[in-house]
Amino acid sequence: MLKELLTPEIKELLMSKDWRILKEILSEWAPQDIVDLLDSVEEPDKVVLFRILPRDLAAEVFSELKSGEQKALLKQMSNEHIKEIFLELTPDDRTDVFEELPAKVTKRLLSLLPQEERKEAMQLLGYPEDSVGRLMTTDFVAIRPSWTVAQSLEHIRKFGKDAETVNIVFVIDEQWHLIDDITLRKLILADPAEKVENLMDREFHSIPAAVDQEQAVEMMKKYNLIVLPVVDSKKVLLGVVTVDDVIDVYEDEVTEDIHKGASVIPFEVNYTTAPVFSLFRKRIIWLSILAMAGFVSGNVIAAFEETLGKVIILAFFIPVLLGAGGNTGTQSATLIIRALVTGDLTPKKWFNVVKKELLVGFFLGFSLGCILYMWSYAWKGEPLVSFVIGLSVMGITLWANLLGSLLPIILRKLRLDPAIVSSPLISTIMDTSGLFIFFSIALLFL
């Protein structure tokens, strides 16, 4: 609220070029509020505001910006300023920036870093894309089991200043193998003369550096962790992943699934900075595929042309029946995809899904069948046609419910992303199969 009240004042200070007052005001703001402010000003003013920020605050703000905004700022900054910002960034945030930049730009920026930081950045960039190794930070605090609590706390005071977090302290042996984690609370409350090994329970969770980032999200969610140690194949402690890192990953995954759910090829940049041609390219492919698939529905109608010609009244109900099928399939697919994503459902439970969805589909179909029977009879007064309509919607709904629930499970079993079972895709499949069911029942009874 304070930020919203002060934004007009900030713009006035920008016009009057009162940099000293601007710096004093912005130094009191949270990085996220400064990001919102940068979004509300013109490009030249954005660069000016960023340049007057204190170095540590500028680094925090930079890490909160979208990749497109980071690239735009880097073009306007001197090499010395870039070096200052990158040295303040945490290793994982620095890696995120390098990942989004063209190779030539990344090479130039790496050359600006001191040897130690450059080596660290190259190491993190050496892990596979979307792996936990790219997400971790190497700024953490580790202690030895043979140390006393007093020695450990002194070590934390000395080296914890630059650590990503000190809420959890890791216990390692001489070869840096991870053997336990201890909360800072336990250390503070323990006797200063107590040995660390006497406080250990050797119960901890860790994750390999080469696995996908989604597994880190799942582990931290499952075990309610705020920090997750990252190890190599020999259990050597390499770094840590913190909860703020996995929130970003989770947000990206949800965004990707939403894009896929609307038959849009996911794109990395945010919508406001995405070029028009990029948005066109990401959407046209699926739309073309779905449009071509629509011709199959036309062929089904052509195959039953004689039936439709004899009972033209059937044509009036096609949109209603296809809409019911598409909506039912989309509902079912959405529920199953979400259950798979949250871990509530696994492909091994497919038979339970079939049993449940057959019953749900029957009840849905019977209810819709009764409604459409009464509605069509009141509208057209044709009892046999109304019976065909009611029976058709029951068959279509039952099939749509089964299809929508099984397709995501089959895709997960094939190690494919179930999110590609999108609403448009389900609707297109149901258009074709729904028409076939409808006309087959009509041919049988009429």
Spatial separation of the C-alpha atoms in residues 13 and 290, rounded to whole Å: 53
* Per-residue DSSP letter, 162: G
Distance (Å, whole) CA 57 – CA 46: 15
Do 288 and 427 fall within a single domain?
yes
Q: 15 versus 221: which is more confidently predicted?
A: 221
Same domain for 75 and 147?
no
Q: How far apart are CA 172 and CA 164, in angstroms?
A: 18
Half-sphere exposure of 308 (CA within 13 A, CB side): 15
Torsion of CA 238, 229, 59, 119, to 10 degrees: 10
- Tally of CA atoms within 13 A in the half-sphere of 392 that contains its CB: 33
Same domain, 218 and 327: no
Q: Are residues 306 and 400 in the same domain?
A: yes
pLDDT attached to residue 271: 61
Number of domains in the chain: 3
Q: Does the pTM exceed 0.75?
A: no
- Which bin fits 343, alpha (ψ -120 to 50), beta or left (φ > 0)? left
The answer on 296 and 360 residing in a single domain is: yes
Q: How far lies 2's CA from each of 13, 182, 423, in Å? A: 16, 39, 42
d(CA 230, CA 235): 9
Q: What is the pLDDT of residues 90-117, one digit of tens each?
A: 887 888 787 777 766 776 777 777 877 8
Lowest mean pLDDT among 13-17, 171-175, 378-382: 13-17
Whether 217 is covered by a domain: the verdict is yes
Contact 19, 52 (CB under 8 A): yes
Domain, as residue range, for 78: 2-126
Parallel, antiparallel, or unpaired for β 207-208 and 227-231? parallel
Q: Are residues 214 and 109 in the same domain?
A: no
Q: What is the pLDDT of residue 264?
A: 62
**Residue 166 and residue 303 share a domain:** no
DSSP string, 337-376: HHHHHHTS--GGGHHHHHHHHHHHHHHHHHHHHHHHHHHH
Instruction: Supply the mean pLDDT for the chain.
Output: 82
Residue 212 in domain: yes
Q: What is the 3-state secondary structure (H, E, C) of 309-344?
A: HHCHHHHHHHHHHHHHHHHHHHHHHHHHHHHHHHCC
For residue 92, with 0-12 CB atoms within 10 Å meaning exposed, 13-18 middle and 19 or more buried, which class applies?
Answer: buried
CATH number at residue 186: 3.10.580.10
Inter-residue contact 216 to 202 (CB < 8 Å)? no
pLDDT in tens, 334-347: 888 888 877 788 88
